[in-house]
Structure 1
Amino acid sequence: MYDMDTRSRPLPLKPCPRCNGAPGPPENPSAYAYLLGLYLGDGCISAHRRGVYYLRIVCDNAWPGLIDACEVAVRSARPDNSVSRVKKDGCVAVTAASKHWPCFFPQHGPGKKHERAIALEAWQQEIVDAHPWEFVRGLIHSDGCRVTNWTTRLVKGEPRRYEYPRYFFTNLSSDIMRLFTETLDKVGVDWKQANWRNISVARRASVALMDVHVGPKY
């Protein structure tokens, strides 16, 4: 996703997690951790008139439950702001306007995320450390999936089909991939880098752990 340049953004008019001298956490840190994962995958922030910014999280129409969860997370992040769903071809953009979105997501900047450095600030890392599964769930819901793979094995000389579940996470940003895998390490999930843009979770115990805390999209 693209973000717009924030170098000329005006100062916010009222307190938010990063506008004070000593930044405080969002009102609902758990919901924010999930929303942060969604934003890093399928979100963008764009400037509008009078210092207002629009946050947009694009969700595929195939996952109505994900769209609902995304809207709940946005409302939790900014309870005083309205949230709308903008229908597009094959997807819905969950959208909300606020002067504070760049403060909530300091990763906002010009150009594509995978073409610039992406790192969490200290207060964001504290939230992710406290709510790692919500962050992982947001990343999987944006750029991941749970699939059923299959292979064949010889049983008494006869080939038999064998199926097994697997989670994949796909992203072009090496920084976002690192944030994902570091968080997986913290929650005890074994993973492998399938290729330069894909992370695979296939070990039975790790898939079972992901099923408990993340589950397939719906």
Structure 2
Amino acid sequence: MYNDTQRQQALSMIDRGLTISEASRQTGISRWAIRDWRLKAVQGQALHAGPYQDCPRCSGVPKPPAPPDAYTYLLGLYLGDGCISPVGEPRKEIWALRISCANAWPGLIEQCVAAVSAIRPQNKVRRVPCPGCTEVNSHSKHWPCLFPQHRPGRKHERKIELARWQQEIVNECTQDFVRGLIHSDGCRTTNRIRRPLKDGDRWYEYPRYNFTNVSIDIQQLFTNALDRLGVPWTQMNQKNISVATREGVARLDEFVGPKH
């Protein structure tokens, strides 16, 4: 997690008039972490402490999880590289949300940790070393409430669809949802093509985004989100979606950001 120096640096930027997004870009610290620190500072709370939080779905009147941008980003990560599994004694009904993040992208690991912490600030977030990746996990009784896509079996072997309340959040924060999906099952690459000419072959290079997922339902969630953002896409094969137009790549570059 972030240290005290990083916390104070970010808060001092906010005090100088920078926005949360500007402070995030300059420091590399997630927006959700900075927003949480600022709120705690205003309320006089310790920056390390997370307030008790009821489940927004099964406690009282159901409401969407907050903050919505963190939730939709985490939803994208979960649909790509996440799962929910029981831990401990069955009678306690405690679940672990597990997101696998490649070790090649340590910044992605930190963003995942920040998103989980933002949604369930009172629950501990763990980093578990695995071959080639780090599992970010957190235990709670309420992960199935927050991610009703959890069912027995692999995601690509069963129906995946968003609940109405999830779709409303995704419609509101479509960019964060697409960013989560690409950070889990996508990449930005440079494509090279060869054009044979009379005086010899000529190579062309251009950037493109690829999204790979076996589940047709998750592919459709991704392409529906692209359609809402006006980003053109192409179905490359049974499991790959490509965004290769100059305008489409530029649009995704505005908010997806590189894995780092």
Counterpart residue number, 1:94: 136
Counterpart residue number, 2:68: 29
Q: How does 1:10-89 map to 2 (within 5 A)?
A: 15-20=54-59, 22-48=61-87, 49=89, 50-89=92-131
Give the unaligned 5+ runs of structure 1.
Answer: 1-13
Task: Report the secondary structure of 1:95's partner residue.
Answer: strand
Structure 1 residues 156 and 211: CA distance shift in structure 2, 3 A: farther
Counterpart residue number, 1:7: none
Counterpart residue number, 2:224: 182
Give the unaligned 5+ runs of structure 2.
Answer: 1-52
Inter-partner Cα distance in structure 2 for 1:200 and 1:139: 13
2:57 touches 2:65 (CA, 8 Å); kept in 1? no
Inter-partner Cα distance in structure 2 for 1:107 and 1:23: 17
Q: Deviation at 1:62? A: 0.5
Task: Report the secondary structure of 2:254's partner residue.
Answer: helix
CA deviations on 1:76-96 (whole Å, 9 max, x unpaired) are 010111101000111000010
Q: Higher relative CO (CA 8 A, sep ≥ 6), structure 1 or 2?
A: 1
Q: How does 1:135-174 map to 2 (within 5 A)?
A: 135-153=177-195, 157-174=199-216
Which amino acid in the other structure matches residue 132 of structure 1?
T
Q: Deviation at 1:27? A: 2.1
Bigger radius of gyration among the two:
2
Which is richer in strand?
Answer: 1
135-144 or 154-163, larger mean C-alpha shift? 154-163
- Structure 1 runs of 4+ with >6 Å offset: none
Correspondent of 2:243 among 190, 198, 201: 201
Task: Report the secondary structure of 1:111's partner residue.
Answer: coil
TM superposition score normalised by structure 1? 0.90
Q: Deviation at 1:25? A: 1.2
Counterpart residue number, 1:106: 148
Q: Deviation at 1:17? A: 2.5
Between the two proteins, the alignment pairs up a number of residues equal to 205
CA RMSD of aligned residues (A): 1.4
Q: Deviation at 1:217? A: 1.4
